[in-house]
Amino acid sequence: MELDQVGVQTVVEDDDKTQIPFLPVEMLTEILSYITSDGRKDLLNCRLVNKQWKSVTDKCTESRFVAGPIGPFPELCKCKIQSRLQDVDNVTDIIPFNGLSVAAVYRICKSNPRCNEEEDSRIISLVPGLLRQVGAHLTSFALASLKFDFLDMPALLNLTPLLKLLKLSNLSITTNMTTLELELPALPELPNFVQLHFSGDYAKYLDPEGISNLLYTWVVISYSDQIVSLKMETREAMPPLSPSRDYIMTVAERVFIIGRTSNIAFAKLDDLKIDLPSREFLLHSITPKLKRLTIYYLNEKSPPDITHVAKFIDSNANTLEKISLDIPWDAMVGDIVSLPQFIEESMHPTSKVILPHVTLLNMHYPSPKDMKILATTILVKFPALCTLSLREFNDENPPNMTVEQYFSGVSELSPPLWVLDEAWLEREVLLSSFHHFVSSMFPDLTMQEAVVMKMSKELKFWDTCKKLQRITFTLDAPNPRFVIARASTAAD
Partner 1 sequence: MALVRVISSDGAAFLVSQRLAKRSGKLKTEIETFRKSSDNSEAQPEIRIVTIRAEILRLVLQWLQQHQNDPVLPANQNEQDGRGDAEMGQSQWDRDFLAPMDLGIVMELILAANHLEVKGLLDITCKLVESKITGRTVDEIRTAFKLKSDFKGNEEEQTRLENRWCVEN
Q: Whole-number minimum distance, CB 76 to partner 1, in Å?
A: 18
Instruction: Choose, by CB under 8 A, the member of 113, 154, 243, 383 that binds partner 1.
Output: 154
Q: Bridge-partner residues for 324, per DSSP?
A: 294, 362
Instruction: Choose, by CB under 8 A, the member of 77, 88, 142, 151 that binds partner 1.
Output: 151
Interface map 58-77 toward partner 1 (x if CB under 8 A): -------xx-----------
Which one, 51 or 301, has the nearer CB to partner 1?
51
Residue type for position 216: Y
Q: Whole-number minimum distance, CB 225 to partner 1, in Å?
A: 23
| Nearest one of 288, 346, 343 to 310, comparing CA atoms | 343
Residue type for position 181: E
Of 47-55, 69-77, 206-214, 365-373, the segment contacting partner 1 by CB under 8 A is 47-55
| Nearest one of 288, 236, 230 to 259, comparing CA atoms | 288
Of 9-17, 233-241, 247-255, 393-401, the segment contacting partner 1 by CB under 8 A is 9-17
User: CA 275, CA 212: separation in Å to the nearest integer?
Assistant: 14
User: CA 337, CA 343: separation in Å to the nearest integer?
Assistant: 7
Instruction: Choose, by CB under 8 A, the member of 112, 179, 242, 261 that binds partner 1.
Output: 179
Q: Whole-number minimum distance, CB 125 to partner 1, in Å?
A: 6
Instruction: Choose, by CB under 8 A, the member of 80, 132, 231, 372 that binds partner 1.
Output: 132
Give φ, ψ of 126 to 5 degrees: -70, -30
92 binds partner 1 (CB under 8 A): no
20 binds partner 1 (CB under 8 A): yes
CA atoms 24, 30, 34, 36: torsion sign: positive
**DSSP secondary structure code for residue 200 in this structure:** -
User: What are the CA-CA distances from residue 4 to residues 1, 7, 8, 331, 342 (Å)?
Assistant: 7, 10, 11, 97, 98
User: CA 204, CA 177: separation in Å to the nearest integer?
Assistant: 18
25 binds partner 1 (CB under 8 A): no
User: CA 323, CA 335: separation in Å to the nearest integer?
Assistant: 18
Contact (Cβ atoms closer than 8 angstroms) between residue 471 and residue 477: no
Which one, 101 or 176, has the nearer CB to partner 1?
176
Instruction: Choose, by CB under 8 A, the member of 53, 73, 406, 434 that binds partner 1.
Output: 53
| Nearest one of 337, 339, 395 to 364, comparing CA atoms | 395
Strands (E), 318-446: 322-326, 360-364, 387-391
Instruction: Choose, by CB under 8 A, the member of 50, 244, 411, 489 that binds partner 1.
Output: 50
Q: Whole-number minimum distance, CB 14 to partner 1, in Å?
A: 9
257 binds partner 1 (CB under 8 A): no
The CA R_g of the chain, rounded to the nearest whole Å, is 30
Of 7-15, 106-114, 321-329, 483-491, the segment contacting partner 1 by CB under 8 A is 7-15
Size of the site for partner 1 (CB under 8 A): 59
**Between residue 415 and residue 444, which ones bind partner 1 under the rule CB under 8 A?**
none
User: CA 121, CA 95: separation in Å to the nearest integer?
Assistant: 20
Residues forming the site for partner 1 (CB under 8 A)? 2-9, 11-12, 17-21, 23-24, 26-27, 30-36, 39-42, 44-51, 53-54, 65-66, 125, 128-129, 131-132, 149, 151-152, 154-156, 158-159, 179, 182-183, 185
